[in-house]
Amino acid sequence: MASDATHDPLSIAYYCTGHGLGHATRSIEVCKHLVERGHSVTVITAAPARVFLREVPSARFLLRKAVLDAGSKQLDPFTVDVKGSLEDYYNTAVVRRDEMLAAEVQWLQSNNFDLVVSDVVPLACTAAAMAGVPAVCVSNFSWDFIYSEYLTTQRRTEFKRLVWQIAQDYSNAALLLRLPGYVPMPAFTAIEDVPLVVRHARKFPAQVREELGLPLDAKLAVLIHGGHKAELRVTEDFLPPGWVCVACNGGRPLSPDTPLPPNFRLAPADVYTPDLVAACDCVIGKIGYGTVSEVLAHGVPLVFVRRDFFNEEPFLRKMLELHGAAVEMKRRDFLEGHWGPYLQRACSLNVRYNEPTNGAEVVAARLEQVARGDAATAPKPNPMTRLRDTVVFGYLMATPKHGRVDVPDWYVNGADPNRRLGSFRNLADVAGSTPGASLDPLLKDWRVIEGDSRVLPHMPDTVAFLQLLRQLDSPHAEEQRGSGGGSDSSSTAGAAAADGAEAAAEMELPEFRAARGLFRWDDELVVTRAPGRLDVMGGIADYSGSLVLQMPIAEACHVALQRHPLAKQQVWKHIKARHDKLGGPRPALRVVSLHADDTNRAPTFDIDLDDLYEPDGSPIPYSSLRAYCKKDPASSWGAYVAGCLLVLAREKGVAYPDGISILVASDVPEGKGASSSAALEVAVMTALAAAHDCSLSSRELAILCQKAENLVVGAPCGVMDQLTSSLGDAGQLLALLCQPAEVQGTTPIPPQVRFWGIDSGIRHSNGGSDYTSVRVGTFMGLKLISEAARRLQRNSSSMHDSSGSGSGRNTSSNPGSSSVAAALTAAVSPLHKDAHVEQQQQQQQGDSNSGRASIDNSRSMCAFGGYLANISPSQYKELFESQLPSHLQGSDFLNLYGPHLDSVTSIDLSVNYALREPTSHPVHENFRVNSFRALLAAADALGDAATAAVVGGGGEARQRHGSVGQDSRPGSSSGAELPPPAAAAAAGAGVSHGGHNARSSMEDLLGMQQLALEHAAATTQQQQHAPGSSGNSWPESSSSSSNGAQQQQQQQQVRLVHVDEQPPAALLGPLETLGELMFQSHASYSACGLGSDGTNRLVNIVREHMLDARKAGCAPALYGAKITGGGCGGTVCVLGLAGSAGQAAVDAVVKQYQAETGYTPFVFAGSSVGAARFGHLRLIRRK
């Protein structure tokens, strides 16, 4: 289209990043249309000039070579050099920033450009603003988003400033023309969506095939393998018979030392790739904008291999899947040549991209409008789009990840923002499964051989899982058996058998196709269930020996497992191809994880079970399996499952002569601090033990699961998550003394209070750099304190010897010296020898990694038994705190002190570790947890306070529910009614509402703990001596059991009570003190560097609720909140009143957070039984 003759031609500067061919090819398409409209275009880029000049041969098209950014540096075809990429950009665009900006501004002004376009060079936007020229960006991603993920593994401050600088550069752009497959880009104030900018084929497919010498009925694959120098040695058997592959590798041989087999062709360097794409049956390659746009525009499927740290990839993958164009190939199969099943799967797809592909023309016209300054078409800010992008950006980038990026499904076009990820509830509703419904139809389908089917009426999630299994065995499931797992399974109409459109949509996902062919339905299955957990108190202090209080939540992971004798084993096509090359069938592990589509991970994992053993038949080291699973990050989640198999083989001698298939369906959301990984491990380990007749105690099972996560997954977690998932009970807090795994029973949750978990939307990871660095700093502090304790003991001993030798010194002149000496004497002797001996034996029986046993032995001989939690806050403050540096370089620590005594983390020489705060946290946290537990035990005082608060309105006029216990689903326990309220012993517990310092009020809390214990004992004694009597606490009308009706009426009374009408402060003290302990714990997390904006905001909203209620003259309904688990995002635990008042307050918190961020939090409410109480079900499908 020619430009309007009434307007003068424009002069446009077009900046194009030099990273990746996709930027260049789409920029060329836009430039073509700009030139056709009569404008002059100068491209500024570091990309090869021939790419541009060959495609736009015009005098109005010029090119200037300049390096203004650095893009991403690759280590190999699948992996980014994260540190190298950041360093390259820093050295290119930060060190020389002022010089480059000045040069660009002068050049733009001297050439009188009308418009600057950037794809997507950050510096160009700021240079344009300084030169007074409008700037427009054209892209589907921005470098601040890309580099933000890199920061999760790099801690250098200048890198963090780098990302902020990039975002500020982009904010100078007047408009972003956003291409499909976009990532969140909140730096831009005005955003407009445009169609695909894509290269179109110039030749007919028949012409291309004729030039290649191929018959029209031959199968053609195009391998796009350019952009790096890595070799790929292909052989003829990479392809099925009748296939030919044309390799696009920039004209370079795939392997210089290996000639191409006859069914492979090498495309010339200047090949026009869209012609090949249009003529082929499928494309094999990596996901990038150029490849994705071309396969969609020409209706061709893409067989792709995932890459590490290419965090724009999940968004492009979602677009491919939405239009039926995606088949995922496992990296191992790509490298080893097992391509056949994936190519066959691709040929069965019906690619349907019905969206416009004229983006180049649309973009050119819009750029012209912006350059001419037409007021009617001026870019308009769109705050809601920016808000959505900001939320998703934070959701993805605020926390560390294992090279894996999650895309919230509510960000994908057409998704429901309120849909719960990975939930069975929708499926259960569709299938008609509701709590209390008759189980007769279900039991007609399944015969329970082993296990207690009486639990099922209380387990609606388990009922839904069994119904899911029934639906997988649909009449069409037979078509799927042996057809391949995940993406390589054939298409199916089996979803039509599901009840309802939603179930049908679910059943079309790749993981459901794979799951249909997973089991032999005429043989027995083992089904297990393990819940996630809510960390109420203790958190990251578990690995320092603290007491922790954990609640098993209602959400759980279900596992179905079946053994397959080799003669009956059915495997996916790519496994069969692998076995055929190895000489025949062998036992294999196949795992399908449902709801993988909600995250950027492969839905299936498989490994030959022979690979778990050395040639001599002994199990391989843990490190070998860890390295195997890390080869393909998309399937690295399989380490949680395969790790359980290896642990049982190494520690319990379990053998695996049969194949094993496992279906995983977890209702515990991932990355939200609810221990989804522990629930998976416990469910899998329980199923494996049951299927292989391996007897394990619940405690032993949890410790073995921790070993799998530590040594195979590589996540340095403590053991509290696995113990809670295994041993927890409904309506109870599990008390664990993590030295290393001492179960101290359960603490009932008083029926007047309740705990909720509110998801911040920020992803949490135990394996991330922040959690790991805090743990390393903690163990550094342990070793420094041990050294200091020994020095102090030697000094104290020498002073004592000197004073007792007749020197005439008066020891009373140094009061407390004897107690200090006694404390130090105890400190340097292990305080829990039995526990340490047990831990030492367990760990030394484990991995044979060099130095591990010696490290564990050294830790057990540390001061305070090797656990910081054994130090009292007063001892720590008086003797050790001042001797700890705030930070310490890793190299300096190793040079001065040697190993840090932690067998699951290593010290990075280049990192400057925080030391004092991570060391302080477990000392004070253990004290807080013990105080918290003692207050919960003083149930009478809590009952008085809660009753007074509810009668006081809970912040506003609400009617109290009749049932106020901790809502528990499934297998819940409502708890017994408390005795009539007695006088509170916790009087006068002054708690400040100001700054909540993690170390404040320790003496007050100690007194509160003692008072609470004394009160509990006094109340028990009073009830024993006068069973019919009661205290004279306010209000008197509720003190007598004969006035039960009056008491109930008063509790249900709806009114506001002003402060001067409320009961004495003593009755409110316990609730507020519990809340203060939680606030202090949260503040301590933040001091360690484990906070996040989202979790901090949720905690502050709870605090604001308390203050607002007091200002309104009402009692609050919420009393405390804290970040949970490993920190760095995830979930916040909230303490409040049970019943409608507390629930309404939590709903208000959720509503406010949603209004501020655009993200609707998921709320964990209720508890359930652990895996030990559930046991396992061995069942078989009835014929």
Confidence of residue 418 (pLDDT cuts 50, 70, 90): very low
97 has pLDDT over 90? yes
Q: Check residue 472 and give its pLDDT.
A: 87
Query: In 135-238, where do the E strands start and end?
Result: 135-139, 175-178, 191-193, 219-224
Q: Check residue 943 and give its pLDDT.
A: 66
Return the number of other C-beta atoms located less than 10 Å from residue 190's C-beta: 17
Tokens standing for residue 681? 């491990």
Lowest model confidence (mean pLDDT) among 487-491, 1036-1040, 1069-1073: 1036-1040
1067 has pLDDT over 80? no
Q: Check residue 598 and give its pLDDT.
A: 60
Q: Check residue 258 and give its pLDDT.
A: 84
Q: Each residue of 929-955: pLDDT tens digit? A: 999 999 988 866 666 666 666 655 543
Which listed residue (721, 770, 847, 902) is catalytic? 721
Q: Each residue of 124-173: pLDDT tens digit? A: 999 999 999 999 999 999 998 888 878 766 666 678 788 889 989 999 99
Average the pLDDT over 1138-1161 and give the result: 90
3-state class of 449 per DSSP? Answer: strand
93 has pLDDT over 60? yes
**How does strand 282-285 pair with strand 219-224?**
parallel
User: Domains of the chain by range and CATH?
Assistant: 11-195+361-397 (3.40.50.2000), 205-356 (3.40.50.2000), 425-749+1170-1176 (3.30.230.10), 769-801+820-923 (no CATH)
How far apart, in Å, do the first and last CA atoms of the chain sit? 68
1088 has pLDDT over 60? yes
Q: Check residue 592 and give its pLDDT.
A: 94
Confidence of residue 819 (pLDDT cuts 50, 70, 90): low
962 has pLDDT over 50? no
Query: How many angstroms separate the Cα of 1002 from the Cα of each of 348, 581, 871, 926, 1080?
Result: 67, 67, 14, 12, 11
Q: Check residue 474 and give its pLDDT.
A: 63
Tokens standing for residue 1100? 């502050």
| Secondary structure, 3-state, 1093-1112 | HHHHHHHHHHHHHHHHHHHC
Residue of 163 and 495 predicted with greater confidence? 163
Average the pLDDT over 45-71 and give the result: 90
Query: Is 643 in contact with 709 (CB distance < 8 Å)?
Result: yes
Query: Is 552 in contact with 1170 (CB distance < 8 Å)?
Result: yes
Tell me the average pLDDT of the chain. 78
Q: Check residue 517 and give its pLDDT.
A: 87
Residue of 874 and 965 predicted with greater confidence? 874
Query: Is 538 in contact with 928 (CB distance < 8 Å)?
Result: no
490 has pLDDT over 50? no
Q: Each residue of 336-369: pLDDT tens digit? A: 899 999 999 999 999 989 999 999 999 999 999 9
Average the pLDDT over 519-542 and give the result: 93
Confidence of residue 388 (pLDDT cuts 50, 70, 90): low
690 has pLDDT over 90? yes
Query: How many angstroms separate the Cα of 712 from the Cα of each of 91, 587, 591, 856, 1127?
Result: 37, 21, 17, 18, 22
Q: Check residue 22 and give its pLDDT.
A: 85
Q: Each residue of 268-324: pLDDT tens digit? A: 988 999 999 999 999 999 999 999 999 999 999 999 998 877 878 888 988 998 899
DSSP-derived secondary structure for 1031-1094: --PSPGGGS-GGGHHHHHHHHT------GGGSPPHHHHHHHHHHHHHHHHHHHHHHHTT---HH
Average the pLDDT over 718-739 and give the result: 91
Closest CA to 333 of 514, 577, 601, 569: 577
Q: Check residue 603 and give its pLDDT.
A: 85
Q: Check residue 439 and give its pLDDT.
A: 63
At which residue do the structure tokens 């639906």 appear?
471
Q: Check residue 498 and give its pLDDT.
A: 34
Confidence of residue 595 (pLDDT cuts 50, 70, 90): confident
Lowest model confidence (mean pLDDT) among 851-855, 894-898, 936-940: 851-855
Q: Check residue 699 and give its pLDDT.
A: 92
716 has pLDDT over 90? no
Beta bridge partners of 135: 116
Q: What is the reported pTM?
A: 0.67
Residue of 39 and 675 predicted with greater confidence? 39
Residue of 486 and 129 predicted with greater confidence? 129
Residue 604 exposed, middle or buried by CB count within 10 Å (0-12, 13-18, 19+): buried
What percent of the chain shows pLDDT beyond 90? 48
Tokens standing for residue 843? 């760990």
Q: Check residue 305 and give its pLDDT.
A: 92
What percent of the chain shows pLDDT beyond 70? 72
Query: Is 588 in contact with 575 (CB distance < 8 Å)?
Result: yes
Q: Check residue 803 and give its pLDDT.
A: 57
Q: Each residue of 761-808: pLDDT tens digit? A: 766 454 444 788 899 999 999 999 998 988 887 777 666 565 555 444
Confidence of residue 215 (pLDDT cuts 50, 70, 90): confident
Query: Is 758 in contact with 1078 (CB distance < 8 Å)?
Result: no
740 has pLDDT over 60? yes
Query: Is 1175 in contact with 563 (CB distance < 8 Å)?
Result: no
Closest CA to 637 of 306, 287, 871: 306
Average the pLDDT over 973-985 and give the result: 30
Q: Check residue 128 and give its pLDDT.
A: 97
Average the pLDDT over 641-660 and give the result: 96
Return the number of other C-beta atoms located less than 10 Å from residue 617's C-beta: 7
909 has pLDDT over 80? yes
Lowest model confidence (mean pLDDT) among 437-441, 577-581, 635-639: 437-441
Tell me whether residue 98 is one of the annotated catalytic residues: no
Confidence of residue 1059 (pLDDT cuts 50, 70, 90): very low
881 has pLDDT over 50? yes
Confidence of residue 383 (pLDDT cuts 50, 70, 90): low
